[in-house]
Amino acid sequence: MPTGIPGNLLTTAMAVMPHTDVSRALETALSLDVPFWPQLPNTSYYEDMYVQAAEHFPGIILEMDKRTLRFSMEKFTEELEEALLRFDDPTYFDISETYSAVYHRFLALDLKDRPAIRGQLEGPISFGFNILDQDDRPILFDDTVRPFMLEFMAKRLNVQLARLRQRNANAFMFVDEPGLQFLFSAMAGYGDLKAKGDLDQFFAQVDRPRGIHLCGNPDWDFLLNLDLDVLSLDVYTNAEIFACYAAAIKRFLDRGGVIVWGIVPTGFEAFAGEEIPSLAKRLEGTWKILWSKSIDREQLVARSMLSPATCCLVNPDKERTVERAFAAVNRMADVLKTKYL
């Protein structure tokens, strides 16, 4: 599984940011080793990650004034033929300037000297679980809509990755899947075998390198055994349970996978209660457990990146704590590189 995704404790972050100033958000994203185009829902509802993924999806009802996103099966049936006629048109699947104030500005930058750059799109499981039809039923459960959705989202990812690769040969994608943590509890009628089959089918259509980002606590065995190149997680919250999956983590690393360790909290109170040494100690504690379970130390470091733990849109100081967390990730990377590289 050779990929262009760097490891060696380089830094990146999740894309959803609390900023209302586009330039400031972009500058903050560019402060990390592996930058990305920010998603800024506080500037416009178009910037919501579900809304961005829904652009041109047949059957979608977007009400900007109410900030609601719904689905109509009748509308889907009416619009499906036109969507299928445009299935080989890359512009149909790209993100328009209306739906992202930052994406096209990011693509205009000279990014070829970066070790890599990254894009993202909401994943099909989360999208399908959160978008409800006229009967308040998630479209994920609809056997007509779901196969189309898997192919549609794969095309969107591939088109974006192709655009990013024009700016940097080592571009890669996060499939944002917060809904995966609910997969085995709240989704009656859509079990793990069905999900595994659908995600295998989905990733078979997605160009490499590709991976999943989520902040929750899913079935890690399930996730680590998908055909991914990179996994981004909130280890600040989930360190203890994630360390229990050493065998699956070892298999993932042996296949060439990269882990993005989300270690610096972005919430105001949590961030205020930590320092670089305490965060480094927390992460190293997890690593030491894995090293004790036959995971090679040098391999783990070589296939690791660092990031903030989560996104955060609700801090009392707006973007300030998030910006400080980004800076702390860079400082922490310097400390750990000195120790391990």
Q: How confident is the model at residue 194 (pLDDT cuts 50, 70, 90)?
A: confident
pLDDT tens figures, 83-128: 999 999 999 999 999 999 899 999 999 999 999 999 999 999 999 9
Whether 26 is in a domain gets the answer yes
Q: What is the CATH number of the domain that holds 74?
A: 3.20.20
Whether 180 is in a domain gets the answer yes
| Percentage above 70 pLDDT, the chain | 97
Whether 3 is in a domain gets the answer no
Angstrom distance (rounded) from CA 10 to CA 31: 12
* Mean pLDDT over each residue of the chain, to the nearest integer: 95
Whether 2 is in a domain gets the answer no
Q: Which has more confidence, 94 or 188? A: 94
Q: How confident is the model at residue 216 (pLDDT cuts 50, 70, 90)?
A: confident
Q: How many domains does the chain have?
A: 1
Q: Residue 124: which of 109, 95, 146 has the closest Cα?
A: 146
pLDDT tens figures, 306-341: 999 999 999 999 999 999 999 999 999 999 999 999
- Both tokens of 299, joined, read 């391999």
Which pLDDT belongs to residue 190?
A: 75
Whether 4 is in a domain gets the answer no
- The set of residues, in sequence order, having a beta carbon less than 8 Å from that of 207 and lying 6+ positions away, is 157, 158, 161, 162
283: left (phi over 0), alpha (psi -120 to 50) or beta: alpha
Q: How confident is the model at residue 188 (pLDDT cuts 50, 70, 90)?
A: low
Angstrom distance (rounded) from CA 86 to CA 332: 46
Which pLDDT belongs to residue 184?
A: 61
pLDDT tens figures, 10-31: 999 999 999 999 999 999 999 9
pLDDT tens figures, 267-280: 999 999 999 999 99
Whether 139 is in a domain gets the answer yes
Whether 150 is in a domain gets the answer yes
Cis geometry, peptide bond prior to residue 265 (ω within 30 degrees of 0): no
CB crowding 111-133: b at 16 or more within 10 Å, else e? beebbbbbbbbbbbbbbbbbbeb
Asked if 287 and 300 count as a contact pair (C-beta separation under 8 A), the reply is: yes
Which pLDDT belongs to residue 181?
A: 78
Angstrom distance (rounded) from CA 18 to CA 313: 5
Which pLDDT belongs to residue 185?
A: 61
Q: How confident is the model at residue 1 (pLDDT cuts 50, 70, 90)?
A: very low
pLDDT tens figures, 229-272: 999 999 999 999 999 999 999 999 999 999 999 999 999 999 99
Angstrom distance (rounded) from CA 52 to CA 36: 15
| Percentage above 90 pLDDT, the chain | 91
Which pLDDT belongs to residue 219?
A: 86
Domain of 136? Answer: 10-340
Residue 186 has pLDDT above 80, yes or no: no
Whether 1 is in a domain gets the answer no
- The residue-averaged pLDDT of 45-72 equals 97
- The set of residues, in sequence order, having a beta carbon less than 8 Å from that of 19 and lying 6+ positions away, is 25, 28, 38, 40, 42, 43, 318, 319, 322
The pTM assigned to this predicted structure is: 0.96
